[in-house]
């Protein structure tokens, strides 16, 4: 992880959380930063959370930013696999673009 990366470790990614997280990112994420979301402690994930992750990945491609998902638990891994987002899972030192 580089020092200018933005790192989030949400406990849930639901319709109730996405708006606040999006507002936080809009004010703090610049074009040269990468976003790292640690999913190890994630307890809730709904369709809005999955859509938000997909949106972040698509926007990152446009802005040449990188979205990296770390340490998903078994539930998250299953959901990410169903949505085709497993390529976003990486380790702490995985910085290849």
Query: Sheet of 6-8: strands edge to edge?
Result: 6-8, 35-38, 67-70
Q: Could you list the residue range(s) of the whole structural domain that residue 71 is in?
A: 6-88
Q: What is the 3-state secondary structure (H, E, C) of 1-68?
A: CCCCCEEECCCEECHHHHHHHHHHHHHHCCCCCCEEEECCCCCEECHHHHHHHHHHHHHHHHHCCCEE
Q: What is the pLDDT of residues 53-74, one digit of tens each?
A: 989 888 876 677 778 899 998 9
Q: Is residue 31 part of a domain?
A: yes
* Counted domains in the chain: 1
Lookup result for tokens 């990410």 = 80
Lookup result for tokens 């849930």 = 12
Q: How far apart are the first and last CA of the chain?
A: 13
Please report, in tens digits, the pLDDT of each residue of the chain (97 residues total). 455 788 899 999 999 999 999 988 887 777 667 889 999 999 999 999 999 998 988 887 667 777 889 999 898 899 889 888 888 887 654 444 4
Q: Is residue 10 part of a domain?
A: yes
Q: Is residue 73 part of a domain?
A: yes
Q: Is residue 63 part of a domain?
A: yes
CATH number (domain holding residue 70): 3.30.750.24
Percent of the chain with pLDDT over 70: 85
Q: Is residue 36 part of a domain?
A: yes
Instruction: Tell me the average pLDDT of the chain.
Output: 83
Q: Is residue 94 part of a domain?
A: no
- Give the model's pLDDT for residue 17: 96
Q: Is residue 29 part of a domain?
A: yes
Residue 30 tokens read as 């610049």
Q: Is residue 96 part of a domain?
A: no
Lookup result for tokens 């990152």 = 60
- Give the model's pLDDT for residue 19: 93
Q: Provide the 3-class DSSP secondary structure of residue 88.
A: helix
């Amino acid at each position: 992880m580089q020092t200018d990366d933005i790192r989030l470790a949400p406990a849930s990614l639901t319709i109730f959380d996405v708006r606040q997280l999006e507002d936080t990112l809009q004010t703090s994420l610049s074009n040269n930063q990468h976003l790292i979301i640690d999913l190890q402690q994630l307890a809730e994930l709904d369709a809005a959370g999955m859509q938000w992750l997909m949106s972040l990945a698509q926007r990152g491609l446009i802005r040449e930013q990188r979205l990296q998902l770390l340490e998903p638990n078994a539930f998250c891994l299953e959901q990410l696999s169903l949505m085709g987002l497993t390529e976003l899972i990486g380790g702490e030192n995985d910085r290849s673009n």
